[in-house]
Structure 1
Amino acid sequence: MDDGLPSYTTLHVTIDTAIARITLDNPPVNVLGGTLVRELHDLLGRLRDDRSVRVIVFSSADPEFFLAHVDIHILDEMDDLREIADRAPHLNLFQGVGELLRHQPQVTIVKLAGTARAGGAEFVAAADLAFAARETAGLGQSEVLMGIVPGGGGTQYLRERLGRNRALELLLTGDKVDADTAAAYGWINRAVPAAELDAFVDGVAERIATLSPEIVAAVKELVPPPDLTDGLRAENAAWAELVSGELPPRLMREALRHGVQTREGERDLESVLRTVAACL
């Protein structure tokens, strides 16, 4: 671990020439669980005041899954995560991760080789820049298939990035889209051949890292993230009401029984969730 950072369980961190490279590693399918949430908060907080770091690159230890989605079991951990959730009173725990990322002073880049759905897709949308492997990457907001709406900023991030019509398409169908479609829609910056993704992202990160901290700060201040406070507050209220209803817990339990959060179940998650819904 570099520069006095603690040893993390779900994150591997290297820092070199103004670039922090963070690898997400939470087997078996890289779900966004309680430990990962805690460690992301801790790491981003520590990096926030580190002027020697100008770029943060996120990748996954699992080439198939960047962040599968929020861990279904995390709803049983909410009391243990209350201290983190309470840091931003108008946000829920998952929105807090996205907003921390959106307001990070460094340039944040996602290198997307595999799939990111729901909370994972929200993480991608919260980053400043995202580049994806054309042949293997995919994004989806699958929450409606679990009887809820996105609860980590997805409704607001997609509306802002994609426009209302495309956001509605993705939010209401729950479909996963490929990298080329995501780029055409504006969800990511661009799709590149998988064999070139590492070199491409490294090149972008290195060119930004050569700039002075003052230049990076000035550009980010002049192109700030939009204020989504009201929309996030409304999203949180809608999500909280739906997730506490009768249907979502039943869908989630059945989804786990049908293999969700296993590698096989996650590969065609949308079909699994539609099958589960049809059985209830």
Structure 2
Amino acid sequence: MKDTDFDRIRISCNDGVSTVTIDNPPVNVLDAHLMSEMRHFLLSVRNDPKTRVLVFQSADPDFFIAHVDMTLIDEPYAFDDFVQGAPEGLNPFQAFGELLRNLPQVTIVKLAGLARGGGAEFISAADMVFAAEEQAGLAQCEALMGITPGGGATQYLSSRMSRGRTLEIILGADLMDATTAERYGWINRALPAKKLDAFVDQLAQNISALPDGVIAAAKKAVPAADMREGFRREHEAWAGLFERPTAETLIRRGLKAGAQTKEGEKKLEALLRSLKI
């Protein structure tokens, strides 16, 4: 898999570690093109024995993956190909997270900026997450758009923390700093921003250098939870709310007010709370 195969991501490989750099300006929204490229890469690498660790980072220090592209409300067929390829019982966003979660490689997110919605769900599906104390933030802000998370957050968060904290994140819908996210169990560690790169790079290299069979044995011994029934409930809740006019109204007004621009995304929760129905 060559770097030139993609427009929205860049791939570099070194001693069994593949680093995926997300680059989808202006704020790395998870649009159909980015999701397609990420999915294509993950499918291509999952059976590669030479690739032992995947590290995900962003070319933009302010944003990891902003969230699912809100303009897709006008492109109802954008994910038709994903639906056809999704495992039975999963919507395309859940299937995307599950593809990441079930890879044989160790997956590590290096979070320097903000991740919300589908971006935060991608992070929660990874094996490990390390974030910059001074810069990183996570949010499941879907409730402010009249919906609940539909890409795995209800299940991934519930496996990482208490029900009360999961509901706080989903219904409180506020941006959480890295230090608090560490305390809640959303991420592995919050680190000083100047130490983040070196820490993750060393960890990835250390894991990649382990003797053959160790990574596979560890991932088998610490199994991924079976969340199929939970995904069904999540999809029904999300889809039922998305069919209501409130969600469309809030999404359109959010875009008009500046969502998916750099300035708007820096204060997205406040922007969405200011909208009137």
TM-score computed with the length of structure 1 as normaliser: 0.96
Fraction of identical pairs, as percent: 49
Alignment partners' CA distance in 1, 2:149 and 2:128: 21
Aligned-partner residue type, residue 85 of structure 1: V
Aligned-partner residue type, residue 217 of structure 2: A
Q: Give a deviation string over 1:29-74, Cα, whole Å, max 9, x none.
A: 0010000111111000000010000000000010000011110122
Q: Is the 8 A contact 1:23 1:61 kept in 2?
A: yes
The alpha-carbon deviation at position 86 of structure 1 amounts to: 2.3
Alignment partners' CA distance in 2, 1:171 and 1:213: 40
Q: Which runs of 4+ in 1 moved over 4 A?
A: 3-6
For residue 64 of structure 2, give the secondary structure of its aligned residue in structure 1.
Answer: strand
2:9: which partner in 1?
Answer: 11
Q: Is the 8 A contact 2:73 2:248 kept in 1?
A: no
Q: Give a deviation string over 1:88-108, Cα, whole Å, max 9, x none.
A: 231111111111110011000
The alpha-carbon deviation at position 5 of structure 1 amounts to: 6.4
Structure 1 residue ranges without an equivalent (≥5): none
The alpha-carbon deviation at position 213 of structure 1 amounts to: 3.8
Aligned-partner residue type, residue 21 of structure 1: T
The alpha-carbon deviation at position 112 of structure 1 amounts to: 0.1
Alignment partners' CA distance in 1, 2:54 and 2:76: 28
Q: Does 1:129 align with 2:137?
A: no
Matches within 5 A, 1:219-238: 219-238=218-237
Matches within 5 A, 1:154-169: 154-169=153-168
Alignment partners' CA distance in 2, 1:212 and 1:43: 25
2:216: which partner in 1?
Answer: 217
Structure 2 residue ranges without an equivalent (≥5): none
Matches within 5 A, 1:166-177: 166-177=165-176
- The correspondence for 1:40, drawn from 38, 42, 51, is 38
TM-score computed with the length of structure 2 as normaliser: 0.97
For these two proteins, the number of residue pairs brought into alignment is 276
Alignment partners' CA distance in 2, 1:211 and 1:157: 28
Aligned-partner residue type, residue 62 of structure 2: E
Alignment partners' CA distance in 2, 1:21 and 1:51: 16
1:92: which partner in 2?
Answer: 91
Matches within 5 A, 1:1-280: 3-4=1-2, 7-87=5-85, 88-276=87-275, 279-280=276-277
